[in-house]
Structure 1
């Protein structure tokens, strides 16, 4: 930073600007000279460093600025920087500074006093006029440099051979000098004086017109020694001396004849000079008179031209109602009923050619223009949706409603009267209309004194709220942890609902809102005047950030999720390091973590124990149980005040892969040794490689998503994802490949079963045979499974079954004999046979049966059934395997015996 020669810093308002921080300095040259002196033509670059949201105004001034009383504000020159810099080319002494503004607060920077390294010369002379034929000496204020250190110029042309500190001039012209005033500090830098114009002695003539005396008193300077006035009747004719007119004044009478007057003077030096000629006549020197127009009442679209009887005056200024009319300085004035209104009293002030001071006022002319009608909204009513509003036709803003002879009302949906629609029956000075949903335009046509007029359009637009402007204190929207920030709107006649991070804040319904949390804030307002008006929100959210706003980086680079650079994805077991930028700038550091969404209240941010350094490292998915991370830091702001801030959070996520699943076909069965069956990855995925295992052993050359096993065993797959190729994912279990089993028939108390029986994802087709004939399974009932036959459908005979799988492998069972009585034997059915646990006996007729006995093969009685039913069951579960006899005793003392095998 450079040394500041002048320091001035004030507050623009009474509000504190302690939070407003900026740095204004000279960035080139760096360092700048302590004296802030520079050679002519050198450049100085000023720079402002400012992180706020306001704006900077750049100023310079040739004298020291009064930043307190602003007494020389009119001399401040506003300059336009390039972004945050401004480069000044030094050509004179100058003061330079900036003003920074935010909201209603402003602050000035230090003021830099830039000076020249060397002295700028000024011209020294006795007078700027001299007699023709005489000589005048002009010198430089910078003296003593010697011959060759000066350059003199006349009318911007360098004077040959004039290199001394003074010259003698004999001709009029504009002169200036350049001096090499600091050859050591600024070699070849000539500093140039201001230019001064010198001319020969020539008297000027002024005068005063005296209309009451019909004369003009001519006058010249009293600084001369002798005077003689002359007159002539032509502009270039012979001048004749006027006898006795030998003083600095002369009274010239105004007549109809043109007369030209001049004065000859003699100076103290004895030289003589003649003035220019002045024309005097009664056309140029008479009181102005405006010609009365034929009509002083005009329709609103008419125009009137006012002109003077005489138009030879030197200057004109027209007036309306006593006030000068800007730009109206011609000899005539065209009056029309424009935006300022045509009606009023008009006069003109004139000046004569020789009298540049005295003004003469004309007579007054009163003009009246018909007033163009205007449309007002009655009582300035608010145009609420679904309301009715009254429009009023008036002949001005401060007059009663009406004032015209007739009225017609029109409307249009576009601002074009030529296509407007007349409103039927609307012939009064007022009209009631419904407030339209879309903007609609209205006009009123009136008549008065033969003048037809149409108002300007009045657009009727449904009321809608403007987005509220939000003011924030502090203005920079920065805070330390624990600070309170005030957000305020100036909108009134509304209700308020404040939002934090997109969610409404409970009970936050005031014009001012106070918060201690960083985030983004919005305000929704609803009109209390127009209940049907839509609520609106502010345009740009108020974003509050920590004043101490550290950053941290993540290594290695993770993959960005969903375009969100703060959400990074890594592989499990990957070593992650979170590094705080510029960690030595903070007095304390604490890493924090959170599992659930950072905006949720499911859990709170927690300090990570022991992690108080600039780097926090962990193994992803192993050492940490959090997903979101940030850092809390303390920084000393000044005066030992500690400001706590937080970094923005970053999400350290892990890839999640669905474990692979295996799809198998044909029951995973081989028809015979040497066959193969296909198994493959059931669902596609972004996998880089595969490994298949059979009963825990790696299958050679199995890097494929499909395998054709030829050997029996359990097969599983390990898949390695493209994202994290070092971490395998497995199906865990897999299909068991086997040779299709042989078919056989089994029977229990419920049904006759075919094997193999479909389960664990294996399916089979069955064809049953009884005594060599295929059985129609459709006769077995709708819920009959083709793999079994219920015992109630089983009849004695020889059963066989054909079993096939989806691959076309077929197995045939051996015959299974079912033993029992035939249909001719009294309708007795005994099943199952063989029996395991329960033997069922069903009878079609029990009236002829006395008892049923059960004997072992050795003749030992096991059980007697005395109460014979149509259906009864006998428990064989405790009997040993072997042959049993069932004896049915009839009432006629006969019996039948049946053999049953117990398995």
Structure 2
């Protein structure tokens, strides 16, 4: 009995030691064992198992074992909980059953187990790929069309139709994985068999494998439309356009003006007249297997047509006894002509020309007998017998009566008046059929039988008209009164000069001297009693002009003035006032007179009879010059040049020096020199002739600033300014 009790105590002690030892050294969490290799998760399949084992000692009763999932790169920085068990705390080996999240997409996921009490983390599981299949059915590419063509090496695009917005795709050509192609479409010109699947890793993608599409290389066939690129066809008659290639495996489509007129199909020939209007630009498109479309060049189609015109070389006005020939022109190859007058067929008129002497409304019909059957009518020509014919003449447009010195008159219009009163211009038709005769002042002119006359002088002035004659028909034109000017210019010139005693005269001459003209002279606006002559002589002064008349026109000259003797005929090389330096000589020379006499003005002493005079002294001198018996007098004043300048500063301080404004002798004490002084504001202080060098006479006013004022001065003679400047007043 004692031994049994002792064994029991020992057993309890051992268990206690074991439990204590577990608490001290901790549990051991084993590496999770995956019960899958590459989970392909979907909404219909999402249950997976992981085996887990751990070693004692025991965990606390509130402990939980949590299965955690890493990110797609195997990192547990932010682990996600897959499932947690709180009832496995006494089970050392058990199985986690869980579902993966729906955003699973990667190749390096891991799981681990974490306990909460005590806090332990197991080793990480082996890495595994895992994908949640949002698409779990085959992809569709190229809308199930099994063949696509690269036309002439141009790239084509193959696209996913039903799921185009997934994260990544895996494309294959001839079974080879194209690692660089991860989009929902691929653009390529390389031939081969293409298919695609969603990129759900190596093991999960096959469920989305698409249909296969074969890419073939389509080459140009060089399609064209047989024949010329510009053709004419008969409207309403069949005409076929034919393709240069006839192949039942090709689809044909015909176009007019870039609009399809047929559907696609086997149609290598097409009758273009089966459409409402075949005229236009045609082309053909063909399509081989794979979808390559090839276009032909253009063919321009026109309906064959003919044109026709009708003309009359001799006009449309039928004069008595005349015939008019009408001629039809056409581009028809084998034409047949029919002529009509007033819409009635003319018998036996089947040639291209028709001659008639009857008025009426004419046209021709032309029928093409080669190829297409075509008929066209020409325009109509109305042939009439006029009730009257008139002609008129006219002057050149720049003609001005009695101003133009030449002009031309000519036949300007030939007009026919029809039975309805209307008038038509028939100049071009009849001008060369008439003969002509000109008349001047109702007299037949010799050798004047053309349609125009050139008139080049006033002797041709007169009233003109023309007569036009055709057979027994004489037609007179209107009259034109032509007056050409006598000359382009009338000028007067004079010779000679008037004398004081009337013993000489002036001869005035005209540049126009034609004896057939009449001449009337005027002086000061009054008619002169003179002969009918282009010349006149006068010993009187006045304003003269001449009027010349001839052939109905006149000219009036500009005025010519004859003046009495002018003192300016005597020229002197010095002015009225002459300034010299004292002791210096100056020679004054005159010209233009017959005789000269020089005098001193004070004594009237004759001092020279030469054309010149030499002076060295101040004073007045007189020249008396004789010209044509007339005496001309000129006076000169000689003065010495001043030896000191006009002062511009005075000091009126009563010290006896520079108290007054002193001018040189030539300006002071001179009755002909005016002296004026002004303030700065323009107020006149003095204005006087014969200045006495006595300014200022009173005190000079002081301005507000306390300084003496500044004055302006001006010295004039005979309204000419001799000197001007300023005067500054200083104490």
Instruction: Give the TM interval when normalised to the shorter protein.
Output: under 0.3
TM-score (norm 1): 0.22
Larger Rg: 2
Structure 2-normalised TM-score?
Answer: 0.26
